[in-house]
Amino acid sequence: MTRTEPALSAFRYLITDMDGVLWRGRDPLPGLVEFFQFLRRHGIRFVCATNNASALPGKLAERLQGWGADVQPEEIVTSSIATADYLADTLPAGARLYVVGMEGLRVPLLQKGFEIAEEHVSAVVAGIDWQLTYEHLKRAVLNIRAGAKFIGTNGDRTFPSSEGIIPGAGAILAA
């Protein structure tokens, strides 16, 4: 931190990525706690942003807090939240959606008033899904071919995990 402190202390606002930047897999990267202490000490407002649609901000904040970092859920923005906001601006209230994704994607969509359904949907929304099956892919394709819009939370082909680089949400979108 010493080399970068003078340059960073001039910042007023900061957006930082999370996966592969603050942690990799289940392990925090070196300097994580000190980084957030520095931001707080210098009054630098920040948002932690992630295009990982698997978890909710509260879970991500708990993870960071478990490592000793002072980060609150309202300081985290996920691609799921951005996707839900986008869809709320572009689809009718209560529209039906088919979702390929996890709780981190489903909950923000439900909070915006969308209905999650299997067929006769306005859009197929896809994010990372660690339990992806052929049935999920088949249902998504059938809905898209029936006229549903196709929205992906992010197109990253790879994802940094503790095991190494693995397929990301972009691999699901490609399928």
Known catalytic residues?
17, 19
Check residue 19 and report its DSSP letter: B
Q: Which residues pair with 96 in a beta bridge?
A: 115
CB within 8 Å of 107: residues ≥ 6 apart: 56, 80
Helix (H, G, I), strand (E, B), or coil: what is residue 123?
strand
DSSP lists the bridge partners of residue 16 as: 48
Helix (H, G, I), strand (E, B) or coil at 39: helix
